Amino acid sequence: MKQVIPFHKEIVFRTMIGEITSISLEHTLKFETESTIRGDLIVSGTYKMTEASQIEEDFEYRLPVDIEVADHYDVKNSKIEIDDFYYEIINDDVLKVNIDVLLDGVEEERKEILPAKEEISLEEEVIKSHLEKEDLREEVKEQEMLDNEVPILQDEAPTVTVDDIKNESKQEKVVEVTPKKDSSDINSIFSAFKDTDETFATYSVYIVRENDTLDQILDRYHCSKEQLAKYNNLDDLALGTKLIVPSTMSSDA
């Protein structure tokens, strides 16, 4: 199972942003404990203060990530990757980045597996569980009455309402992933994870220029056509098309 965690961050530059000439994304996310993922999303590149400017300025910003997880998912074989990355310039000096972190190989742990041919709704499953508990209480009560030859009073089973069923269903099945609103921290609620090895990946955004060919772009980034096709539509490379390249840039863009 795959789980995507979205992050949205506005980065305020020291000067006006006329044009982003190159940009790349790296990450140092890892499972620090069984319930925590920590690390940085690193956005870097070059920009011009005006589109007509011939001078390019460097920039690099680290976005700290702190993800707390719950206890009903198994991620011992999962990997942390970047699923998508795009950006936009707003208010002349603010760069808004949108990053989707992908957790691949997540498995949900379940206490009970229903037969494949049996179709049962979530509400019916909760009701069935409560009825089984009531039946068990009745059997114990009857056995004790037979053994002691005197009635043994038992507490009445709690009444199950539709609201109780819906609330319990939500508690057992719903998993929300919400980043923190704190400007210095990016957070989201996920589920139970275990330690895994640290991964480190680089993703570059290349803007197709006049006279570019697909082979030239692949040679420049030392990337295969199959790797590039996983993130982009290569059927029509028009002037100005933005390509996500899953490799470290080895020469000037």
DSSP 169-197: HHHHH---------TT-B--B--------
Angle in degrees, 0-180, between the axes of helices 162-173 and 122-148, rounded to the nearest 10? 110
- In the chain, the N- to C-terminal Cα span, in Å, equals 36
So what's the pLDDT on residue 130? Answer: 66
Using DSSP bridges, classify how beta strands 73-74 and 107-108 pair: parallel, antiparallel or unpaired. Answer: antiparallel
Say yes or no: 73 and 58 in one domain: yes
Q: For 48-62, 179-193, 195-209, which range has the lowest pLDDT when averaged over its residues?
A: 179-193
Total domains in the chain come to 2
Residue matched to tokens 């990355």: 85
| Amino acid letter, 91 | N
Task: With respect to residue 253, please indicate whether it lies within any of the assigned structural domains.
Answer: no
Q: Is the pLDDT of residue 119 over 80?
A: no
Say yes or no: 39 and 155 in one domain: no
Q: Is the pLDDT of residue 58 over 80?
A: yes
Say yes or no: 163 and 49 in one domain: no
Q: Can you tell me the distance from the alpha carbon of 57 to that of 219, in angstroms, rounded to the nearest whole number? A: 26
| Amino acid letter, 167 | N
Say yes or no: 6 and 67 in one domain: yes
Under the banding of pLDDT at 50, 70 and 90, the label for residue 185 is: very low
Say yes or no: 87 and 167 in one domain: no
User: When comparing pLDDT for 55 and 131, which is higher?
Assistant: 55
Say yes or no: 85 and 35 in one domain: yes
Task: With respect to residue 159, please indicate whether it lies within any of the assigned structural domains.
Answer: yes
**Can you tell me the mean pLDDT for 86-113?**
83
Say yes or no: 143 and 202 in one domain: no
Task: With respect to residue 117, please indicate whether it lies within any of the assigned structural domains.
Answer: no
Containing structural domain, residue 143: 122-171
Task: With respect to residue 195, please indicate whether it lies within any of the assigned structural domains.
Answer: yes
Say yes or no: 77 and 132 in one domain: no
Which string of b and e fits 106-119 if b means at least 16 CB within 10 Å?
beeeeeeeeeeeee
Under the banding of pLDDT at 50, 70 and 90, the label for residue 73 is: confident
So what's the pLDDT on residue 147? Answer: 66
CB atoms within 10 A of CB 209: 12
Write down the mean pLDDT value for the chain. Answer: 75
pLDDT tens track for 23-46 = 999 999 988 887 788 999 999 999
pLDDT tens track for 196-231 = 444 445 778 889 898 888 899 889 888 888 988 888
Residue matched to tokens 């955004």: 205
Say yes or no: 134 and 152 in one domain: yes
Task: With respect to residue 27, please indicate whether it lies within any of the assigned structural domains.
Answer: yes
Say yes or no: 130 and 38 in one domain: no
Task: With respect to residue 10, please indicate whether it lies within any of the assigned structural domains.
Answer: yes
Q: Is the pLDDT of residue 235 over 70?
A: yes
| DSSP sequence for 49-112 | SSTT----EEEEEEEEEEEE--SSEE-TT-EEEEEEEEEEEETTTEEEEEEEEEEES-EE--S-
Say yes or no: 151 and 235 in one domain: no
Say yes or no: 48 and 79 in one domain: yes
Q: Is the pLDDT of residue 59 over 90?
A: yes
Task: With respect to residue 252, please indicate whether it lies within any of the assigned structural domains.
Answer: no
Residue % of the chain over a pLDDT of 70: 68
Q: Can you tell me the distance from the alpha carbon of 242 to that of 234, in angstroms, rounded to the nearest whole number? A: 11
Task: With respect to residue 114, please indicate whether it lies within any of the assigned structural domains.
Answer: no
Q: Considering only CA atoms, which of 199, 184, 209, 201 is closest in space to residue 22?
A: 209
pLDDT tens track for 147-183 = 665 444 444 545 545 555 445 444 444 334 344 444 4
